[in-house]
Structure 1
Amino acid sequence: MNTDVAPPLGRRQQAWRLAAAAAMGLPTWLSLGVVLHRQADGTGSWFLIGDPLVALGCLAALLWRRRFPRAVAMTVAIVSTASALAGGTALLALSSVATRRRPMEIGSVALVYLAASQIPSPYPTQDAPGSTWFRFALPALAAGIAVAVGMAVGARRVEVRSLRERAESAEREQTARAERARTLERNRIAREMHDVLAHRISLVALQAGVLDHRGDLSAEENRVLVRGIAEGSHQALEELRDVLGVLRAEPGRPEPPQPDLGHIPGLVEEARGSGLDVTLSTTVTGRPSDVVARTCYRIVQEGLTNAAKHAPGARVHVTLAGTAGGHLTVSVRNSATTATTARPPTSGFGLLGLSERVDLVGGRLDHRPTPGDGYLLTAALPWPGPVLEERT
């Protein structure tokens, strides 16, 4: 923003300033009329017609003082010497220049104003003793007051402009923080919905694929698979309802409990019941923090989901190990696929969201193919000791 350009004035503000400029010259003009009336027979046509017309022209010139401040101020300072009523317009023009707070510009206009004030008046008045000094001191005093007022107004404008810019900057920052918070919340919700639904739908798709490609199943096995599909679909709807309930919850309302380390055996049993060959081995001693435990659960869930999607019929082995003061390590390894079923569509965001989860707790995530067309998903999550947890 250009600090040299004054803010535009409204019509009411412009009219008020012009009226003030005319009012400042009115006492001088009336006093001069009284003096002229006493010294001569009448005041003369210039006093009654020419003087007001010159003042009116100076007032009209002030309308352009913000676009051409120095030119207008110098012109009005020179022309106003022919009009007693235009004295206020010259001071207003000088004060307007002073609001820009440019010493060279203010000095040049002030010198022109003082020099113009020494031009002989068109009125035949008698000079009193010491009037030469008075004719210089009075304009100098008036110019000094006009410059001081103008610089004070300019300083106030700069301060108001600075405050406005700071307020606008704070508002922009607040808007950016709110947008970032909304983006983070949307990403968190997207991760939750993916973690909750992708696993459930993958198991349903796995069971449906077995029904489609296995023609040697007994009636009881078919009923078990169909019942598993129905139950899995119902659970997917229930979990989706829970996620949507979190979205619609009022601020301050506690969220429903999230799965943690103790829910992993149930997760493995559920996957095993859907036809996935899963084994679980754990050597975890102690209880990690809720965030670490929930992240560990999501890692296992994503590993089983990917195994069900991309390696149907493969053997999956889940390993958990760790203790307080070290790391909680998680690995999900699956062998090569042994079935040829139609694979469900993938979003491609599962491992990306999982990486974000692991990064948030300060852990490391690794996933890569293994020899024999298998796949390995591993993570190391920090598990501070009791002393460190108390300090933090």
Structure 2
Amino acid sequence: MDVRQESGDGAPGRWWGQGPPWLRRWADREPGRGGGRWPWRSTLLLTVFVLGGSNFAAHMQRGERALLDPFGRVLLILACGLLLWRQRYPVAVVFGTAVVTAVYLGAGYPYGPVFFTVAVACFAAVIAGHRRAAWTALALLCAVHLLVAHWLYRWLPPSGDAPASFGQEIVVTGWVVAIVAVAELARARREQWARERAERAQAARRRADEERLRIARELHDVLAHSLSVINVQAGVGLALLDGDPEQARTALTTIKSASKEALGEVRQVLDSLRTPGDAPRAPAPGLDRLPELVEQAARAGLTVDVAGQPPRRLPPGTDLAAFRIVQEALTNVVRHSGSRHARVRLGQDGGTLRLRVDDDGPATGAEAGGSGNGLAGMRERAAALGGTIEAGPRLDGGFRVLAVLPLKTATGTTAGTADGTETESGEDQ
């Protein structure tokens, strides 16, 4: 993810994302890899600055250092020209500028902006991850300077030169420390930016995966329930088509109603993909639609008894999860149970909503086109809310699904029933 884009949580990008173009290009490059362009402009500006500053330094140091002749200017241009390759070959450039600068100093030319070429090369090498090479080049330059300033000055120009003063050594040492400190600070900041880009990209991928999982669960719950009803009713219609045409007509009517409802819910899920962020055209289903589930199950030949009342003002996520869990549990009874009777118990136990769906079995072994993901989807929905799902055969036969979901209103208080009283757990023995 580009540092100039918004961050993973939707907040605006950091200050460097709105900075000048050269800073954005530098931040976007991966450490250790050269950019796609040659740094002509910055190198040209630095060359003009170094040549002009060295001429001024030669004027100020007249009589102390050698005059800046054509060979000295060639050395300055060479040191600056090497910086064109600093992004592609940072190690060679940092050693090259250090050697050219050492020759420049050994020739007795005036101190001045030539040190900027070494600073820029060292900065590029450290940013590219070649810290040891940058430090070695600086150490080489410092060693040459100490030899020239305190020993070799007797045989090197200018004639009659004296050893360097301690004040001058302090200045040179300060330059070295400043170069290393700035380069290391830039390297640390760049690594921090790279980590933040990676974290934002990972967060975006995680949100995309979670959204795909959510859509897959919604489509599974919608299609599995509706197609199970259609499958059962189609079997009834085929069986009664000749002997009882009226009952077959009722089965076909049920198929038409179930398919129409499934198409509507699938369209709503797909609309959320086409226009992300828009409000849904229809409210998400909740336990207020439990009578519809009971009616659909009845059309599929399953009698459902409902006991207890759902708490009022359920959080939207809990309401949707509870509806889908009951829907999937009833779908599994239609698919896999020989029983034509199921019981749904709703209740509140402290700060949790308890849902229980029982059938008396036995299991038929029929698949009816199932994918085997129903129980996994129920567990994922419950876990996403901090709840639990227990599903398995009962000791006395049949099958039970027990869901426990956290239950709180928007104000953080325990939800109540429609008449304002708290419900009991609704368990029956």
Shorter-chain TM-score category? 0.7 to 0.9
CA 1:299–1:18: 2 relative to 1, 3 Å? closer
C-alpha distance in 1, partners of 2:93/2:409?
74
The amino acid that maps onto 1:320 is R
Structure with max Cα Rg? 1
The percent identity for this pair of structures is: 25
CA 1:226–1:385: 2 relative to 1, 3 Å? closer
1:320 pairs with 2:345: yes
Matches within 5 A, 1:60-209: 60=78, 63=82, 66-67=94-95, 73-78=101-106, 80-81=107-108, 84=109, 100=134, 107-115=142-150, 118-120=153-155, 135-137=162-164, 144-209=170-235
Partner residue, 1:375:
399
The amino acid that maps onto 2:262 is A
C-alpha distance in 1, partners of 2:116/2:288?
82
Deviation at 1:101, TM superposition (A): 6.3
| Secondary structure, counterpart of 1:67 in structure 2 | helix
| Secondary structure, counterpart of 1:348 in structure 2 | coil
Contact 1:307 1:334 in 2 (8 A): no
Matches within 5 A, 1:254-333: 256-274=282-300, 276-284=301-309, 286-287=311-312, 289-290=314-315, 291-311=317-337, 314-323=339-348, 325=350, 327=352, 328-333=354-359
Ranges in structure 1 where 5+ consecutive residues have no aligned partner: 36-46
Contact 1:197 1:236 in 2 (8 A): yes
The amino acid that maps onto 1:119 is R
Deviation at 1:355, TM superposition (A): 0.6
Figure out how many residues of one structure are paired with residues of the other and give that number: 362
C-alpha distance in 2, partners of 1:57/1:67?
14
C-alpha distance in 1, partners of 2:57/2:335?
97
| Secondary structure, counterpart of 2:326 in structure 1 | helix
The amino acid that maps onto 1:10 is P
C-alpha distance in 1, partners of 2:289/2:114?
86
1:362 pairs with 2:386: yes
Partner residue, 1:351:
375
Contact 2:237 2:249 in 1 (8 A): no
Contact 2:228 2:334 in 1 (8 A): yes
| Secondary structure, counterpart of 1:136 in structure 2 | coil
Deviation at 1:149, TM superposition (A): 3.8
Deviation at 1:381, TM superposition (A): 2.8
Structural RMSD (CA): 4.5
TM-score (norm 2): 0.67
C-alpha distance in 1, partners of 2:79/2:203?
49
**Higher helix proportion:** 1
Ranges in structure 2 where 5+ consecutive residues have no aligned partner: 1-28, 83-91, 124-133, 416-429
The amino acid that maps onto 1:318 is R
Contact 2:344 2:356 in 1 (8 A): yes
Partner residue, 1:242:
268
Deviations 1:233-281 (A, max 9, x none): 222212222222333446353563223223223211221122x232313
